[in-house]
């Protein structure tokens, strides 16, 4: 008899809509919806997706406890053997929803769960110790790769088979240590690694240490009264029409825009390209995210020397750290070339 599986997805993958339908409340549908077709194919005859739970990312984020309780009650009706959520890739709110519902289902219903996310999804750090999270690409182009891995891992749990290492099973490290037997003692293996390191040869550590990116603070501006100050934002404020087509989520670019002659940003001249938050107030007055009006006022008062005639903008919503770092390096290079002394960074 095939295992009974329920699949959790958001409003986008259910084909209901994008950000404008993010407030969609939890809904239960019989059978397969959207990416569940690929998941069912990966299960073959070993498991059947008996139902799909759909919930808008915004609704889940704003009503988490309520949404979890509703979904748990929905699941009880179908008596599932397991829950699969996502994949969420690098969508932050979707990842948080997948992580939270998997965590709650595992604890309350005691059944196997699995989800999949990009390693830099903010939900990974929160939920990786309690649930299995398959490592996925940063966008839906990785669906074909992630789905079979999710299916394989949940089936192994259902069958009570031993779960291998993160490398073997393709899930993100959980920080769990497991005793294993090796043919050589640790001291011998450590000496071998040391010798390879001294020779400049490749070796793989059995316990990789975390790497932290430490950035020393820049020295204070010596004379703020003469300083040229620039504005940079991850809040997505762009000229009307978003000329560079900066993505609403998982941005792959930033924009450079002129402030020459501008004393104020208005709804007629600028807007936000940012997804993941209600854009109403930012679009009504873009100065709320990129404070050009206040900066000009301080400039007139002589609080600092001058406001740089360019500003830089991108979208921080789900943007991978690697991209953000490259944006920062390029923006910093341009600002230094323009003899900027200091930067005010704003978000949403």
Question: Could you tell me how many residues make up the chain?
Answer: 348
Tens digit of each residue's pLDDT (9 = 90 or more) over 284-299: 999 999 999 999 999 9
- If one counts every other C-beta atom within 10 angstroms of the C-beta of residue 128, the result is 20
Residues spanned by the domain of 81: 3-159
Last residue of a domain, one of 159, 188, 203: 159
Q: Distances in Å between the alpha carbon of 200 and those of 193, 194, 209, 211? A: 10, 10, 19, 21
Q: Are residues 152 and 229 in the same domain?
A: no
239 contacts: CB under 8 Å, gap ≥ 6: 257, 269, 270
Read off the pLDDT band of 326 (50, 70, 90): confident
Q: Is the dihedral of CA 53, 149, 64, 3 positive or negative?
A: positive
| pLDDT for 320 beyond 80 | no
Q: Are residues 228 and 318 in the same domain?
A: yes
Beta pairing, strands 47-55 & 82-89: unpaired
Whether residue 136 contacts residue 142, with contact meaning beta carbons closer than 8 Å, is answered with yes
Q: Is the dihedral of CA 55, 57, 63, 67 positive or negative?
A: positive
Q: Could you give the number of structural domains in the chain?
A: 2
| pLDDT for 203 beyond 80 | yes
- If one counts every other C-beta atom within 10 angstroms of the C-beta of residue 186, the result is 9
Q: Are residues 37 and 129 in the same domain?
A: yes
Q: Are residues 145 and 231 in the same domain?
A: no
CA distance 276 to 348: 10
The reply to whether 234 falls in a domain is: yes
CA distance 220 to 241: 37
The reply to whether 103 falls in a domain is: yes
Q: Are residues 16 and 154 in the same domain?
A: yes
Tokens 């090796």, located at residue: 182
Last residue of a domain, one of 103, 133, 159: 159
CATH of the domain at 91: 3.40.50
pLDDT for 317: 80
272 contacts: CB under 8 Å, gap ≥ 6: 235, 236, 237, 238, 279, 282, 283, 286, 289
Q: Are residues 145 and 228 in the same domain?
A: no
DSSP secondary structure string for all residues of 35-84: THHHHHHHHTTSEEEEEEEEE-HHHHHHSHHHHHHHHHHHHHHH--SEEE
Tokens 């001249």, located at residue: 269
Last residue of a domain, one of 113, 144, 159: 159
DSSP secondary structure string for all residues of 97-143: HHHHHHHHHHHHT---EEEEEETT-HHHHHHTTTSEEEEE-SSGGGH
The reply to whether 7 falls in a domain is: yes
pLDDT for 274: 92
Q: Are residues 237 and 342 in the same domain?
A: yes
Tens digit of each residue's pLDDT (9 = 90 or more) over 2-26: 999 999 999 999 999 988 898 999 9
Q: Are residues 25 and 123 in the same domain?
A: yes
Tens digit of each residue's pLDDT (9 = 90 or more) over 79-102: 999 999 999 998 888 999 999 999
């Amino acid at each position: 008899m095939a295992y009974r599986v329920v699949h959790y997805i958001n409003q986008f993958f259910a084909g209901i809509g994008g950000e404008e339908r993010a407030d969609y409340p939890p809904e239960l549908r019989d059978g397969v919806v959207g990416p569940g077709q690929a998941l069912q194919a990966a299960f073959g005859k070993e498991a059947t997706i008996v139902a799909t739970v759909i919930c808008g990312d915004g609704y889940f984020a704003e009503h988490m406890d309520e949404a979890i309780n509703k979904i748990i009650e929905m699941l009880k009706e179908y008596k599932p053997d397991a829950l699969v959520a996502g994949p969420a890739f690098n969508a932050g709110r979707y990842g948080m929803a997948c992580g939270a519902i998997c965590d709650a289902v595992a604890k309350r219903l005691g059944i196997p769960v699995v989800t999949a996310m990009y390693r830099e999804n903010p939900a990974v750090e929160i939920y990786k110790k309690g649930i299995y999270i398959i490592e996925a690409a940063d966008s839906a182009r990785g669906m074909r790769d992630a789905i079979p891995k999710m299916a394989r891992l949940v089936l192994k749990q259902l069958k009570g088979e031993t779960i291998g290492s993160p490398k073997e099973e393709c899930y993100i490290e959980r920080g769990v240590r497991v005793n294993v037997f090796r043919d050589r003692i640790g001291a011998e293996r450590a000496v071998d690694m040391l010798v390879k390191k001294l020779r400049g040869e490749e070796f793989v550590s059995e316990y990789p240490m975390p790497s932290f990116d430490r950035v020393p603070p820049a020295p204070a501006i010596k004379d703020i009264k003469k300083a040229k100050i620039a504005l940079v934002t991850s809040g997505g404020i762009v000229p009307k029409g978003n000329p560079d087509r900066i993505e609403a989520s998982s941005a792959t670019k930033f924009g450079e825009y002129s402030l020459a002659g501008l004393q104020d940003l208005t709804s007629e001249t600028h807007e936000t390209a940012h997804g993941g938050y209600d854009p109403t107030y930012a679009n009504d007055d873009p100065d709320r995210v990129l404070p050009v009006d206040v900066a000009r006022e301080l400039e007139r008062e002589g609080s600092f020397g001058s406001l740089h005639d360019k500003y830089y903008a991108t979208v921080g919503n789900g943007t991978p750290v690697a991209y953000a770092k490259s944006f920062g390096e390029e923006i910093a290079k341009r600002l230094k070339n323009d003899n900027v002394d200091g930067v005010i960074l704003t978000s949403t």
